[in-house]
């Protein structure tokens, strides 16, 4: 199947007089663990909530697994697992009571799998939710999501505020699910280290716009540092889009997106790390203020797709 798991076209959401998301056009291919990265307020949560059918667009279109999500379309929402940082658990419930609640509200619920997951995590069905550590609560919340057997998991900062061991356990539980069930995942995160290890698709948002969306492997291959002495910096090679520029008293260094092989010998070339690439986009987003134009970058051949 090649239907995108999430597809948006000119998607926008306004809260009163403020835009939570504007002009968002995006297509997440199937079979990916996609990372959604961007500063707070970029519109990540707004986008994810709309994907989960919890919020309706002000304008524009969103399709999830090929269909328009709505609170009335139960058959679509059953195929989507959504989890945000609130981790909606009933604190006074025992784990088994949470599971029975899940079973009663989800026709695709797989009780055996839910029990196997918490068993592997060393959590007892008799444990009360409010007696569990924060990490264990996060694991139970994710288990509730996984037991629905969703085709798409939409996770809003699933590992935020967890200690390093708990976040590792949670992400491993998630990766095991991807390995065994082939579940599609779209998750937002501020932890750039996680992006490189668990994700294979990257979406960067700033000011409610998508500034980069591509396979992770290609993201690294298509960006380079270009350095030269500022006094006689040569013209930029063809096919180069500057994302971020840093200058010293002598040198200028661009982090650039390249679309053609660099034949030019006059620029010093270095390969950036994934973190450096993401930071360059985020820094540009911050510096360009709240009203960016689609091509506010120096571009020799087209803009940023």
Task: State the residues that interact with other proteins by CB under 8 A.
Answer: 31, 33, 168, 171-172, 175-176, 178-180, 193-194, 196-200, 217-218, 220-222, 224, 258-263, 268-271, 273-274
CA distances from 267 to 40, 195, 284, 297 (A): 35, 30, 22, 19
CB of 181 to other proteins, least distance (A): 10
* Nearer residue to other proteins within complex by CB, 23 or 276: 276
* Nearer residue to other proteins within complex by CB, 174 or 282: 174
* Nearer residue to other proteins within complex by CB, 12 or 185: 185
Q: 3-state DSSP call for residue 170? A: helix
* Nearer residue to other proteins within complex by CB, 47 or 240: 240
CB of 198 to other proteins, least distance (A): 5
CB of 1 to other proteins, least distance (A): 16
CB of 97 to other proteins, least distance (A): 27
Strand 223-229 relative to strand 268-270: parallel, antiparallel, unpaired?
antiparallel
Gap between the Cα atoms of 157 and 232, Å rounded:
45
Q: Could you tell me the two tokens for 183?
A: 């579940």
Buried (b) or exposed (e) across 234-248, using 16+ Cβ within 10 A? eebbebbbbbbbeee
Gap between the Cα atoms of 271 and 161, Å rounded:
32
CB of 160 to other proteins, least distance (A): 16
Cα–chain-centroid distance for residue 39?
12
* Nearer residue to other proteins within complex by CB, 74 or 270: 270
């Amino acid at each position: 199947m090649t239907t995108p798991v999430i597809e948006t076209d000119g998607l926008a959401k306004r809260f009163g007089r403020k835009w939570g998301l504007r002009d968002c056009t995006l297509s997440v291919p199937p079979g990916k663990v996609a990372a959604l990265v961007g500063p707070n307020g970029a519109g990540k949560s707004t986008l994810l909530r709309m994907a989960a059918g919890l919020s309706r667009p002000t304008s524009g279109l969103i399709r999830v697994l090929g269909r328009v999500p709505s609170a009335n379309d139960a058959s679509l929402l059953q195929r989507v697992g959504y989890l945000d940082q609130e981790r909606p658990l009933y604190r006074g419930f025992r784990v088994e009571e949470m599971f029975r609640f899940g079973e009663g509200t989800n026709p695709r619920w797989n009780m055996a799998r839910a029990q196997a997951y918490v068993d592997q995590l060393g959590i007892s069905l008799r444990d009360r939710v409010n007696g569990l550590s924060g990490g264990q609560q996060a694991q139970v919340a994710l288990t509730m999501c996984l037991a629905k057997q969703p085709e798409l998991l939409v996770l809003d900062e699933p590992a935020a505020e967890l200690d390093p061991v708990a976040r590792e356990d949670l992400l491993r539980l998630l990766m095991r699910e991807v390995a065994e069930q082939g579940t599609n995942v779209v998750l937002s995160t501020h932890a750039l280290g996680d992006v490189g290890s668990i994700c294979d698709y990257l979406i960067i948002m700033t000011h409610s716009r998508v500034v980069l969306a591509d396979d992770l492997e290609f993201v690294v291959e298509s960006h380079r540092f270009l350095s030269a002495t500022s006094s006689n910096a040569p013209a930029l090679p063809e096919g180069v889009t500057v994302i971020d520029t840093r200058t010293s008293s002598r040198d200028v260094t661009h982090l650039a997106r390249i679309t053609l092989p660099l034949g030019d010998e006059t620029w010093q070339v270095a390969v950036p790390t994934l973190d450096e690439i993401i930071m360059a986009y985020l820094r540009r987003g911050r510096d360009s203020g709240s009203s960016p134009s689609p091509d506010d970058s120096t571009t020799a051949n087209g803009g940023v797709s």
